[in-house]
Structure 1
């Protein structure tokens, strides 16, 4: 590359602590500043992850959108991009992708790369809008092979798609000090099942609570089980009603959003991903890095992390299937230990942030060469 760092803009919908948001922050913070000059544009107001960017000295502009129908945001982002004059715009999340590509077109940004992390069922209008505006995109980075396959089936060209999986900060999750779960009402002698995610229908926590209740009522599993759900979201009220109706108030704990999940994962005995759909679940990577035995629904991206019976167990997204697989790991210590060790080794070898950043950089550099930018590795 030239002696002058390449200006690269990043556009994302929000900076709440979700998977896509954490990935963007980790990628931007890991860039070599002698090669890249980043600027992050967030469509929403400042979120909790904004402080991480500030502390790393990454320029951040929040456009303070409060509604998905605030179409003036395209104009504001266009103005900001004209001022920064990036050679590349990398976008994340649905609204970030759509608004970013429209603004980049108006601002004359030479290269636009979309980041696709999930295929949402029953969101046909989103796919139609994505297809309609895809002519403004030079390349698309997919978080998993499953997401790339779904886009190919929708008519996207093979040569326009590259798979770059998420990374994980392995040492942080593998070596964290276990949290004291008594602070959340869980006895020291209890066995704890943990799940992490936004309280939203996508994450299937209603199924997980039902599965836990089925498991709890089996005498041979034991009555010292507790379920810890970490996260916040619009489903909290409904989930709390489910917990009360199941008679599980003292055994299922909704503890809200936590700033650091690594100690919580280290303190648990089993991790469960109950999602109805995903792209590649960051939290599953983190749980495997923490050395936890894992059960995960067999949705997009999971098969690239869990080989059923080798690095974890997969289940169908329904309570009986989840309960059965949870029971297997809770009643077979040898199987549980073997899968946990194999899963941790798999993540350590295949899913570092260094590999993720290198994958993004390879796409950027290739696109610059195709545009005649003469980028060198």
Structure 2
């Protein structure tokens, strides 16, 4: 132990936006903090390890091959809390928080639940769902501090969890930021991503960046592309590149084939150099059904790339007062209309996003997120579970 304050981050799903959150925020914490990330091993293990090494943290991985991921993570947290003294535990998401609640009852280390998602109804139906809801509600109400990565998500909890008060002293919203400067500068190897995707410079390139799961709305984007084929906009040279991974990739590939859109939709795996990706795109599409506060929107806006976004929870908060083209969540025809506007654009829409870049860089600067998160952690140590009122 080197005298620094010790933060234990517990994460069941160290992928996508949660992994990005850790990379950005922990990378901007002061040297007074040492971060240990305790996570379940996933297919993004190497990327996670590189992120943790970059911000100077320690990575502890566990596998759930015998007892399941949740049981393995609970046991790993229990062992970690008995092998080292931690000042604060930050759980990333509801499942991680329930694990901490089970393992932390005796050490009673101050615990902050960071909320990255909604309580999805599809997981809360039937007798198993009722148990999950009861566990989630108890976990949320039992956390010392509930920290939402946006304001919308706390409003959602107020609707779903009896007794939850988003204005309570132990509840705070700290909008998540990014390393804005990284996206605003043009990469030296511009064009490399297009070449890997097999898309020439004259083809309008839409990008879908994220997990392949129902929440993200890739199925709606495929329907929108099919809708474009029925209009004059379908004559324009365009392509959609879907970058990511997830359990539903096979489903979406099949949907593309059923629509006969193989020449219009390309699937690619996770790309390590995302700055290059953004600057090779002509527009980013976010057809999400819900979000907490998506970092893809912030990254696109800081890169000056035109953004088409649904008006779902969380995403509407991220794109408010920006040039983003918005459409009603779940409406594939409206999404197709937004895409058609971009295909017909003479450069004015793009210019508006470029002019907005400096505002985006200031608005989504992760250094402010990290400052407030660090003040929260310090306040929990000083006050033993009470949120510092001055920084809410």
Instruction: Tell me the TM-score normalized by structure 2.
Output: 0.87
Contact 1:15 / 1:50 at 8 angstroms: preserved in 2?
A: no
Paired residues for 1:200-239 under 5 Å: 200-220=213-233, 222-239=235-252
Deviations 1:314-350 (A, max 9, x none): 1122210111122223323355135413543332121
**Are 1:129 and 2:128 matched, yes or no?**
no
Residue aligning to 1:79? 79
- In the superposition, relative to structure 1, how do residues 260 and 101 fare at CA in structure 2: closer, same or farther (>3 Å)? farther
Match of 1:93 in 2: 93
1:311–1:346 Cα contact (<8 Å) kept: no
Matched, 1:240 2:253: yes
How far apart, in 1, do the equivalents of 2:133 and 2:191 lie?
42
CA contact (8 A) 1:197 1:203 kept: yes
Quote the Cα distance in structure 1 between the aligned partners of 2:368 and 2:252: 38
Question: Which segment is superposed worse, 38-47 or 266-275?
Answer: 38-47
Question: d(CA) in 2 for partners of 1:94 and 1:209?
Answer: 31
Q: CA deviation at 1:62?
A: 1.2
Which residue in 2 is equivalent to 1:40?
37
CA distance in 2, matches of 1:134, 1:229: 34
Which residue number in structure 2 is paired with residue 115 of structure 1? 114
- Counterpart check, 1:186 vs 2:199: yes
Comparing 88-97 and 341-350, the one that deviates more: 341-350
* Pair 1:174 & 2:158 matched: no
- Report the counterpart of residue 22 of structure 1 in structure 2: 20
- TM-score (structure 1 length as normaliser): 0.90
Alpha-carbon distance in structure 2 between the residues aligned to 1:235 and 1:343: 34
**1:258 maps to which residue?**
271
TM alignment of 1:140-179, pairs within 5 A: 140-153=146-159, 154=161, 155-157=163-165, 158-159=167-168, 160-177=170-187, 178-179=190-191
Alpha-carbon distance, 1:294 to partner: 0.8
2:281 is aligned with 1:268: yes
1:76, 1:169 → 2: CA distance? 31
Q: 1:70 to 1:292 in 2, by over 3 A?
A: closer
CA distance 1:220–1:21, shift in 2 (3 Å): closer
Residues 205 and 166 of structure 1, relative CA distance in 2, 3 Å threshold: same
Cα distance in 2 between the residues matched to 1:121 and 1:108: 29
Structure 1 segments (4+ residues) deviating >6 Å: none
Q: Secondary structure at the match of 1:266?
A: helix
RMSD (Å), alpha carbons: 2.5
- Contact kept in structure 2, 1:173 and 1:286, CA below 8 Å: yes
Aligned to 1:313: 325
Q: 1:23 Cα shift?
A: 0.7
239-248 or 142-151: bigger deviation: 239-248
| Mapped partners of 1:238, 1:362: distance in 2 | 44
Alpha-carbon distance in 2 for matches of 1:7, 1:284? 31
Cα gap change, 1:222/1:84 in structure 2, threshold over 3 Å: closer, same or farther?
Answer: same
Partner of 2:64: 65
Measured after TM superposition, the shift of residue 267 of structure 1 is: 1.0
Shift of 1:366: 2.1
Q: Could you report, residue by residue, the CA deviation over 1:27-84 in whole angstroms, capped at 9, with x for unpaired residues?
A: 2232222x22222211336452112213443122112234656525323311211211
Of stretches 278-287 and 242-251 in structure 1, the one that deviates more from structure 2 is 242-251
Could you tell which deviates more after superposition, 68-77 or 22-31?
A: 68-77
Q: Kindly tell me: are residues 205 and 261 of structure 1, through their superposed partners in 2, closer, same or farther at Cα, counting changes over 3 Å?
A: same
Q: In 2, distance between residues paired with 1:220 and 1:206?
A: 20
Structure 1 gap ranges (5+): none
Report the CA distance between 1:273 and its aligned residue.
0.1
Identify which of 328, 353, 360 aligns with 2:366.
Answer: 353
